[in-house]
Amino acid sequence: MAAFYGVTGIVSLGTNDSNIKGWKLTVTRSTHDTTVFETGGAQKFKTFIGGHTEWSGSFEALADDTNLLTLADFDGVAAALSLTDGDGNTYTGNVILSNTAMENDHNDVAKFTSDFQGTGTLAVS
């Protein structure tokens, strides 16, 4: 598989997809310990089974008056999210914004970072 450059990534949250600088997606599966008592004194390694899968992530955007107002509308309410990487792979599902932080530094553009928690299935196409 060839590497690809991240310059063409896209984030669409609801109807908003403006000024995005980057995004991160994490998919995790819980594990549950199934280890039983050892017998015979032999060393026993832990055993596990897989549990539920969840997904979450974050994105960073340049702030403007239109994208901040739109993001505020999603506070605590599930919204459709679509992430597209530089190779054209698209990840879609519903998310709840869990955190949004504004950054306004001297000699830099205003930007914000939002964290999201996926709710339900993450589709990949």
Euclidean distance between CA atoms 38 and 45, whole angstroms: 9
Query: What is the pLDDT at residue 70?
Result: 56
Q: Using only C-alpha atoms, what is the Rg of the chain?
A: 20
Question: Regarding the domain with residue range 9-31+44-124, which homologous superfamily does it belong to in the CATH classification?
Answer: Hcp1-like (2.30.110.20)
Token readout for 15 is: 């109807």
Reported pTM = 0.78
Tens digits of residue pLDDT in 53-95: 999 999 988 887 766 645 565 667 888 888 888 888 899 999 9
Beta strand pairing call for 111-124 and 79-84: unpaired
Q: Which residue has the higher pLDDT, 113 or 118?
A: 118
Give the distance from CA 1 to its chain's centroid: 23
Query: What is the pLDDT at residue 8?
Result: 64
Question: Residue 12 carries which side chain, given as an amino acid letter?
Answer: S
Euclidean distance between CA atoms 93 and 107, whole angstroms: 36
pLDDT of 119 over the 80 cut = yes
pLDDT of 109 over the 90 cut = no
Euclidean distance between CA atoms 100 and 29, whole angstroms: 25
Query: What is the pLDDT at residue 120?
Result: 96
Tens digits of residue pLDDT in 12-57: 776 666 678 889 999 999 999 998 887 777 777 889 999 999 999 9
User: Is the CA virtual torsion 56, 62, 65, 67 positive or negative?
Assistant: negative
Cβ-count burial of 73 within 10 angstroms (0-12 exposed, 13-18 middle, 19+ buried)?
Answer: exposed
Mean pLDDT across 113-118: 91
Euclidean distance between CA atoms 7 and 117, whole angstroms: 24
